[in-house]
Amino acid sequence: MGSLWLGAFVGFVVTLILGWMFPGLGHLIGGLVGGFVAGLIAGGMIKGGVAGFLAGVFGGIIIAVLAIIGLVAAGAFTGGILGGLLGGLAGLWVGLIAIILAAFGAIASTIGGLIGGLLTRGRTH
């Protein structure tokens, strides 16, 4: 039997690495590949789908948090305290958009998890 949480964690790491290396479309592709890896590790279609979904959701949340932190830091370095506050407001908007777009990443991860879990369905331990 595979581990749901280990699959979700490894899928999350793959999603995060590919999303960081290739911003934008890389997050969707990373979600699909990360979900596939999560499904292979979790084993089974249901566990693979859940692991892929968790990997996609966690990846989207972390990308949003990193976007907020990045814009706050950029604003603070260029404009001081007021720049940090304005960067924080811009970061909140970008983070909100990233969370909305993360729904597509979670769907791609779930599909990848279902496919990866389907491939392990006939495997005996």
Instruction: Give the contacts of 24 (CB within 8 A, at least 6 positions apart).
Output: none
Domain boundaries, given as residue ranges, for the chain:
4-119
Q: Which residue has the higher pLDDT, 112 or 125?
A: 112
- Give the global pTM: 0.80
User: Looking up tokens 């491939």, which residue turns up?
Assistant: 119
Tens digit of pLDDT for each residue in 14-60?
888 887 788 777 778 888 888 888 888 888 888 888 888 888 888 88
Indicate the pLDDT class of residue 124, thresholds 50, 70 and 90. Answer: low
C-alpha distances out from residue 87 to 48, 96, 119, Å: 38, 14, 45
- What mean pLDDT comes out for the span 58-83? 87
